[in-house]
Every structure is written in structure tokens, then in C-alpha cells.
Structure 1
């Protein structure tokens, strides 16, 4: 086997690759971040979660040097995030971005690679991301999914020590998403560090070893996937029944009621034992009862719901 194309070129010994200390940021009269402190350490893969407007993109903008905090401090590789020498060690895919429409895919890769002293071979990068067959296609003619793959590839071309990805797989089909995940796992195995936001909670669960939840400009949870789930002790009670889902909304400790395509009703609950007892005491008809641990997505929804005023 040949060695993987995407490896990291470490240039320092700093453990904290990126950090924010008591950071605030306001747009007009709207606070986006209120006293946020966060540290991203070498070798971590951090999933940043939060509802729309929670402050995720603002925090990423500060860590990458695209914005300045109103107060507090932000460091990247121990230096100023806005300094070109510092940002040379960073790879990034913002949520909203584009490449020059008239460049071909190959030209875009070679152009970005030329800015780095030890860039990944363009041919290898194109092959790894499934872009070799469209190397001569203009970027303006790419589908949304093809453009997302190209943008993530460009984030990795310089062998960065830290990669920040804001919604990297938006618009990708399942196969393309799996291909991208495989490349990001390889990047991590080579010693790279990831900070990733995603609306696909499955993606965070697949790639991150640490999860940070931000809501209304404040970090409300920080831990492993299992710790985040355990923070709210959420479980799932599912069963079959002839009753409509609305019949179960008032069951004790229930956070959410959903119905699957196969007709099973699922109650997301803070206390599975109490929920099952009440189903029995109310003499509600059900069968094929199952109790499972909640997914990260269900825990996330429970955490953010708990924080609402």
C-alpha cells in the first residue's frame, strides 16, 4: 500500500492549538457570544453543536481570525489568529464560501497548494476526494455536493495542524459523505486536529471524540458523546400502539414524542422507568416495548430545550 496523501506537517509543540478566553461579541444590539471560553488541544476532534443563531459561526470566525472579539482574547497556535504566518497552519471550510467560477477543479487545487511549502500532491488529493474525473471541469459548473468536496479538499491541501469545518457535508449524498468522513479520519490518524460543526448529529457522533454545545452565545455542555448523553439522562421508550402519538404527550418525564415510518412510537424521556410505569398504570394499549439509550441528537435537543427560559 502507498502511504496516505494527507498527513500533517507539525511546526510547533503548543498543546492548545486554539483558545478563546472570556470572549464576547455583539452585532448591533444583539449579543452573539457572552463570555465564552474554549480550548482546542492537539489531536482532538471537537464537534461544536448548537441551534441556528447559537453563536457557532461567530466563534469559528474568531478562532480563524476572520473576526475580532469585543472583549476577551483569542489565540491560534499561541499567536494572533489574523496573522498570515499563524493562519498558514490552519485549514478551513466556512459554511458559505465559493471558489472562482472560471477556474477548473485542478487549477483551483494547484492554486491553493502553491501557497504552502509542503502541499499534498494535487493528483493524490483529487483522487482521494473523488474529484479526479472532473479535474478539467470549471468550478462554476459543479453541483453543490461536488463543490463541498472540493472545498474540504482545499482545507487539507496544506497539511494543516488544525482544520475547522463549518457544515462540511451539506448537500452530499450518503456515499460522498462516507468518502469525506474516511479522509477526515485519515487526517486525524496522521495527527491532525478537527473542529467541526454539523446539522448531521450522526456526523458529529462519527467523527468527534469531544462535543461542545453552545446555545444563545454560551457554552452549556462540554464532554464526550457519552458524557453529553449522560448530562440529561435521556432514554428512548418505543412501542407499537393503535393510539395516536398525541395520546402520549403528557406521560411523565417525556421530552419528545415521535413516530417512525414503521409505525412505532418513541418517547424520549428523562426517566424511562417512570415512563413505562405510567404507561402501565394508565392502562394504555401497547406492545413490543423497547428501551434504549438516547442518540446524541436526542440528548442535544433535550439539553437545549432545558436551557430555554
Structure 2
């Protein structure tokens, strides 16, 4: 099956600055892909190229098998950029109707309102909404046309915890209904909640591309927590360990947890509550972007 998005050796330069340095990536129907990377990594630039808003310096980018600037292809795409810009004077209901009118087969308005919990401010002018409410509307609009693919750039910026979870539930529902999703976020918990596949971009290149579980499992470091000893004891046993202390709980992120545990036992130090686990997505992300995998 042809991918919804295909990029091959994609390069984008802005003057002397290189935002993308040869990105090759496919996104297929039904996928939910989390796009991670530090500020300036090239995530937003990649999305704008996929949308046809910018042209690549070299390489190729295809949307639904062809030029992203083609109207017929863009009619199958929904997106929410980082910045929310809704017309202040229009009511939320009117904005939804306006956006849906641009698509050949939009989803039902009532269904969209229910999924994104927009009912309480459906008849309010967009300019009277809080920043979080505007963001919720903006993300809902990405799905208004019942697209095959949606690009969400930092979708929950400015939302509180409850607002984020409402959007997560709604995006998951749209994904289950068949919409492919590409989402960027600085909330790593958000990627864990939504994505099945993770692509890590750093300095304009793809550093990792695999399932969520594989990215986390592929990181070579482990987290060891215990009580009853000092941080200096851990550092004496493993000088390369990253050690933090919270009250009496000592946490060490190490390359070889087995070796550390053996050294602890051999040292005769008394400790309690030993726990060893794999890296979280946040730890995986930081390790990958620091180039220490």
C-alpha cells in the first residue's frame, strides 16, 4: 500500500541554516506517529513541507502519492499548527460550519462537538474563549473534514491537565475511526498516550524510528532506585551514573544495572527498597538526542 506521506532525502535550508538534513520517512494509513525532538530539531519544518506550505531545498516529499500543493490531496488532510488563530467575531458553531464546507465529506458536527467537548461554548464568539478553549477548537477543526490524515503540531499547548485528557480521548477516537495521525509534542507523556510509533528528529536528521516500546527498550540505560545509602556511595561504585536524591530515595540512571546491583551487594552496604526498571520515553528521548544510545 502506498504511504500517505513519503519523504526521501528531504533537505530544507533557510539561508545558511539547515533545518532538515536528509529526512527519509513513510507514514501509512492507520498509523499514529509521534514526532519528537528538541526545539529547532526540524519537526515543524517537516510538517510544513508535508502540507505544501514550503518547498524543499532538495529531496522529495509526497502527500497521498503526489504533490502536497495539489488541492485534491490537501482536501484529504487536516492540520493544527502551533499557533491558534481563530476569527474573533465568529461563533464556534460558525467556524466549524465554515471549515467543514471546504471538504467533500465532512464528519457530523454533533459528533465532533461531542468528541471534543465543545458544547459549552458552541455559541460563543471565538474571541471570548480562553486560550485553552481556543486550542481545543483548533484541534477539533483538524478533524472537521473527516480527513484521512491529520498533522497536529503541539496540540495541547496551553491546556490544563483535564483539557489535555479531553483532547487525548478525542484524538484516540478519531484514530480508531481510521484517521492517521502525526503528532509533535513537548509533553512526552502525550506521545506515550497517543503514539504507536515514535520518530525522533535531532539537528534535522532522524535519530530513531520504531515502535514506542522498541524506542524505549532500545535505550541502553536503566533506572535503579533504593533507600538507605548516600548518593556518594553510588558514584563510588559507578562514576558514570547519573544520581539524584529525593528525600531518602536515591535514583541512579546507569548503563549496566546488573553490574551496579552486584557491586552494591559486594560492598556490604545496607540498603532497602531496591527497584530496577527500563527507561521511560523521556529518558529514551534525552539519551537519543544526546547521542549516547
If the length of structure 1 is used for normalisation, what is the TM-score? Answer: 0.88
1:295 equivalent in alignment to 2:280: yes
How far has the Cα of 1:217 moved from its partner?
A: 0.6
Match of 2:122 among 125, 135, 147: 135
In the alignment, what sits opposite 1:277?
262
> Are residues 230 and 191 of structure 1, via their aligned partners in 2, closer, same or farther at CA, if it must alter by over 3 Å?
same
Native 8 Å contact 1:253 1:274 kept in 2:
no
In the alignment, what sits opposite 1:257?
243
1:79 equivalent in alignment to 2:69: no
Match of 2:52 among 43, 60, 65: 65
> Are residues 129 and 253 of structure 1, via their aligned partners in 2, closer, same or farther at CA, if it must alter by over 3 Å?
farther
Distance 2:14 2:120 in 1: 44
Aligned-pair Cα RMSD in Å: 2.1
Q: SS state of the match for residue 274, structure 1?
A: helix
Match of 2:8 among 21, 33, 42: 21
> Are residues 133 and 69 of structure 1, via their aligned partners in 2, closer, same or farther at CA, if it must alter by over 3 Å?
same
Distance 1:67 1:257 in 2: 44
Distance 1:253 1:273 in 2: 15
In the alignment, what sits opposite 1:305?
290
Unaligned runs of 5+ residues in structure 2 are none
Match of 1:102 among 89, 98, 103: 89
In the alignment, what sits opposite 1:154?
141
How far has the Cα of 1:283 moved from its partner?
A: 5.8
Unaligned runs of 5+ residues in structure 1 are 1-13
> Are residues 65 and 255 of structure 1, via their aligned partners in 2, closer, same or farther at CA, if it must alter by over 3 Å?
farther
Q: SS state of the match for residue 158, structure 2?
A: coil
Match of 1:174 among 161, 165, 173: 161
1:231 equivalent in alignment to 2:218: yes
In the alignment, what sits opposite 1:9?
none
Distance 2:45 2:18 in 1: 11
Q: SS state of the match for residue 236, structure 1?
A: strand
Native 8 Å contact 1:90 1:160 kept in 2:
yes
In the alignment, what sits opposite 1:42?
29
Match of 2:178 among 191, 194, 200: 191
Q: SS state of the match for residue 16, structure 1?
A: coil
Distance 1:57 1:301 in 2: 19
In the alignment, what sits opposite 1:53?
40
> Are residues 275 and 87 of structure 1, via their aligned partners in 2, closer, same or farther at CA, if it must alter by over 3 Å?
same
Native 8 Å contact 1:89 1:162 kept in 2:
yes
Q: SS state of the match for residue 219, structure 1?
A: strand
How far has the Cα of 1:252 moved from its partner?
A: 3.0
If the length of structure 2 is used for normalisation, what is the TM-score? Answer: 0.92
In the alignment, what sits opposite 1:212?
199
Aligned length in residues: 293
Native 8 Å contact 2:35 2:183 kept in 1:
yes
